[in-house]
Amino acid sequence: MKKVILWSLGLYILFGLFIAWYLFLGANTDIPSNLKGSVADPQTFMNERQLILSEEHSQIKNLLYFLSVPFEWLLYTLILVLGVSAKFRDWAKVSAKFSILQTAIYFFWLSLLVELLSFPFQWVSYKVSKFYNITVQTTNSWMKDFLIDFWVNYALMLLIVGVLFWLIKKSTKRWWFHAWLLSIPFSLFLMFVQPVLIDPLYNDFFPLTNKELETKILELANKADIPADYVYEVNMSEKTNALNAYVTGIGSNSRIVLWDTTLERLDENEILFIMAHEMGHYVMKHIYIGIAGYLLLTLIGLFLISKLMNMIVKRWGKLCKVSSIQDIAVLPLFFLLISVLSFASDPISNAVSRHQEKDADIYALEMTEDNKAAVSSFQELSRAGLSQVNPPFLVKLFRYGHPTMLERISYTNEFQKGEDE
């Protein structure tokens, strides 16, 4: 046990030192010489203070991310080897007679412990965003969202965990395949109800008040054969200065949504370009391709987890006070493996996402024929979010589901030149 703890802590500290060196000293974020002075060079659209702040803000946010992910692994490892998970299981058995209540009690204590120990990362991230004026959300409002997050995640995950262990008890060898089959309708159902049940828990949504702009957006939607009767506005200005717009939901619950910050900071042509980009995702069925990719990765992931869980419990079960994979106390190991495999697959899923985002950008350019609006909107997005135009390679690899702003501004600017020629 001491060896596992010391090795885990040692590796985490070494990784933290490496990532801090990489982000603050080792990574190259300079603009390529051939693009210096171009519209993609932040020197041309950011002032000196914005340049400094964007670099600082991005470095700190990236550091927090790369420290928080392995911290989660460390946390689940310690919960297992210190016998905390086994203690929670024993408390649950003493506290309730029925297995479903025992699962609910066990999972509540596990969720609460993980949330409390992870809270400093979330709190520091909030304070950093507040310091750099990205977040304008009050502490009370942020805490409200934090608590909503906890209970929504607890309710959804309790359902998943309950079904998962029922399947493991029914079929120790094939539970992973049955779990995957059930995840298909469950994932589709969540995507269907999210716009009408989950999203309104955090923000108020209402039809776009600018009817003239709404008409133009719906004309674009009609041109793209997208069935939409309304464009929704969400009051994000109470929480952030960042900009965003998106198409969410599936089927009859599909929605076109604009943040009010986007409406305030961008002009009409820029908004129409962004909306055309979002419509591009719909037209090219990226959401369904994304669902298919997610389900494929889930199938592979659950298969690997089943093999790894059996191997780890067989070898180190006594150390963790876990008798078999049917024991609810093995749950931290399940979460640990999900987190590790998810992190390992991020470069692949991000690469696919970046390709889709570029396709959506090109679609929007072809629809609006306005590369100036594209370039200026990306420049404003960079200023509003204080994001690095040319982030470090590892950051792009693990964090960027969109092309970098350097890339987006460059190819959208060149698109018109090619048309002119």
Catalytic-labelled residue, pool 72, 233, 270, 278: 278
Rounded Cα gap, residues 385 and 403, in angstroms? 15
Q: 343-373 burial, b for 16+ CB within 10 Å, e for fewer? A: eeebeeebeebbebbbbbbbbbbebbebbeb
β-pairing, 245-248 vs 205-207, is unpaired
Residue reference for tokens 């603009």: 31
Q: Hey, is 247 helix, strand or coil?
A: strand
Rounded Cα gap, residues 199 and 258, in angstroms? 13
DSSP 195: I
Helices then strands, counting H and E runs in the chain, come out as 14, 4
CA proximity to 71, closest of 27, 11, 22, 129: 11
Rounded Cα gap, residues 54 and 296, in angstroms? 37
Rounded Cα gap, residues 376 and 365, in angstroms? 13
Residues with Cβ < 8 Å from 407, sequence gap 6 or more?
A: 358
Q: Alpha carbon of 213 to those of 132, 233, 363, 379, 391: distances in Å?
A: 31, 12, 20, 22, 34
Q: For residue 205, list its beta bridge partners.
A: 234
CA diameter of the chain = 77
Q: How many CB atoms lie within 10 A of CB 159?
A: 11
**In whole angstroms, what separates CA 360 from the centre of its chain?**
19
DSSP 246: E
Active site annotation includes 48: no
Q: Hey, is 245 helix, strand or coil?
A: strand
CA dihedral for 45, 49, 52, 57, sign (positive or negative):
negative
DSSP letters, 252-306, are GG-EEEEEHHHHHHS-HHHHHHHHHHHHHHHHTTHHHHHHHHHHHHHHHHHHHHH
CA proximity to 382, closest of 242, 206, 245: 242
Catalytic residue numbers read: 278
